[in-house]
Homo-oligomer: A and B are copies of this chain.
């Protein structure tokens, strides 16, 4: 028998509260698995290699009565998220031992796929219209990088963050050479990809982050005007280096308000995240003063998550992005945390953006 540690979702944190390790998410080291004999019942057995902590996981911890874009987690079951696994045994056609697979998987060391226990029994009529059944995402076989790039890239450029940046940039921003874009949280996995896609298209890029290390990271990605919003306000920096043709927003609040001032008429905003308010109670949310400018400047704003735009752009993503990565025209840094037992803390660090270092947080559960 082999130890199979996992992360359980034990209690829903209150709205806008950070989850607490041991209270809301707990490490369960008591489970074991017989890798050679566990029944597969037509499925396949995977070993988890990397896990990617992402903001959507916090949305899934909310109470189901609160409307958001995704289904919630089941209490008592292991949490799920995007990751890369390798196939150890298979009874399923099209899935072969040794395959690497990317997609939604369970935060545990070994999993019989498709996983059932964590899965919401999704009935559309029980959810707000348009709620995305995250558990419907199946693992997909992905190329073996053969040493050309690290599997940790699947937690950044080659995974959901990179895909989110790609579909939003192609489908909403549609940036053209010579234009100026402002990217908030530019050192994040999504933000750093948006910066690079914009530079490849010949845009001028302004980008913000919360530490000087991150500012240098953004500069290294080609950002023309990176800044630390804790040292200079969004408003004053954009007044100096704007105006802007588009805004990629990962944070909301003051960044959004300042961008509305700096945006040109007929410009656009892609809202991909609201990290500045996600962990605050509504009474402490920054309140927008510039909403009237949406009309005065005829601005188009679109809040989105990646599934809506995937069908249109997934082909182009896999045609273009891995090659650009291998050629060194796209870069990313990941900040690696070893061991699934450090997963819960890493997830909370990601929510707090509390790490001073640049690079996407990624949990390496096992080496290949």
Which A residues are within 8 Å of any B CB, using their own CB?
A: 59, 67-69, 128-131, 249, 252-253, 256, 264-266, 271-274, 277-278, 282, 285, 287-289, 291-305, 308
Q: Are B292 and A131 touching (Cβ within 8 A)?
A: no
Q: CA separation between A308 and B265, bound complex, in Å?
A: 12
Given contacts A130-B264, A265-B69, A265-B130, contact A294 B303 (CB under 8 A): yes
Q: From A308, which residue of chain B is reached at the shortest CB distance? A: B298
Q: Are B302 and A252 touching (Cβ within 8 A)?
A: no
Q: CA separation between A302 and B300, bound complex, in Å?
A: 4
Given the complex, which residues of B lie within 8 Å of A292, measured CB to CB? 252, 274, 277-278, 285
14 further contact pairs, Cβ within 8 A, besides A68-B297, A298-B305:
A67-B297, A69-B296, A130-B265, A131-B265, A272-B295, A273-B295, A278-B292, A282-B289, A285-B292, A296-B303, A299-B301, A300-B300, A301-B301, A301-B302
Q: CA separation between A305 and B296, bound complex, in Å?
A: 9
Given the complex, which residues of B lie within 8 Å of A266, measured CB to CB? 129-130, 308
Q: From A68, which residue of chain B is reached at the shortest CB distance? A: B296
Q: CA separation between A289 and B285, bound complex, in Å?
A: 7
Given contacts A69-B298, A129-B264, contact A291 B289 (CB under 8 A): no
The 5 closest A-B pairs by CB, nearest first: A130-B265, A287-B287, A288-B288, A295-B303, A274-B292
Given the complex, which residues of B lie within 8 Å of A287, measured CB to CB? 287-289
Given the complex, which residues of B lie within 8 Å of A302, measured CB to CB? 298-301
Given contacts A130-B264, A130-B265, contact A69 B291 (CB under 8 A): no
* Contact residue among B67, B253, B285, B295 (Cβ-Cβ distance under 8 Å from A296): B67
Q: Are A294 and B301 touching (Cβ within 8 A)?
A: yes
Q: Are A130 and B303 touching (Cβ within 8 A)?
A: no
Q: CA separation between A288 and B273, bound complex, in Å?
A: 17
Q: CA separation between A277 and B294, bound complex, in Å?
A: 13
Q: CA separation between A197 and B274, bound complex, in Å?
A: 35
Q: CA separation between A282 and B296, bound complex, in Å?
A: 14
User: Can you report 17 residue pairs joining A to B where beta carbons are below 8 Å apart?
Assistant: A67-B297, A69-B298, A128-B265, A129-B265, A252-B295, A271-B295, A274-B296, A277-B292, A278-B292, A287-B287, A291-B291, A295-B303, A295-B304, A296-B303, A298-B302, A299-B303, A301-B302
Q: CA separation between A291 and B295, bound complex, in Å?
A: 15
Q: Are B308 and A304 touching (Cβ within 8 A)?
A: no
Given the complex, which residues of B lie within 8 Å of A128, measured CB to CB? 264-265
Candidate in A264, A278, A291, A308 with the most chain B CB atoms within 10 angstroms: A291
Q: From A278, which residue of chain B is reached at the shortest CB distance? A: B292
Given contacts A292-B277, A294-B271, A302-B300, contact A67 B265 (CB under 8 A): yes
Given the complex, which residues of B lie within 8 Å of A294, measured CB to CB? 271, 301, 303
Q: Are B130 and A298 touching (Cβ within 8 A)?
A: yes
Q: CA separation between A300 and B308, bound complex, in Å?
A: 13
Q: CA separation between A292 and B250, bound complex, in Å?
A: 11
Q: CA separation between A305 and B249, bound complex, in Å?
A: 25
Given the complex, which residues of B lie within 8 Å of A273, measured CB to CB? 295
Q: CA separation between A305 and B59, bound complex, in Å?
A: 36
Given the complex, which residues of B lie within 8 Å of A249, measured CB to CB? 295
Given the complex, which residues of B lie within 8 Å of A305, measured CB to CB? 298
Q: CA separation between A273 and B294, bound complex, in Å?
A: 10
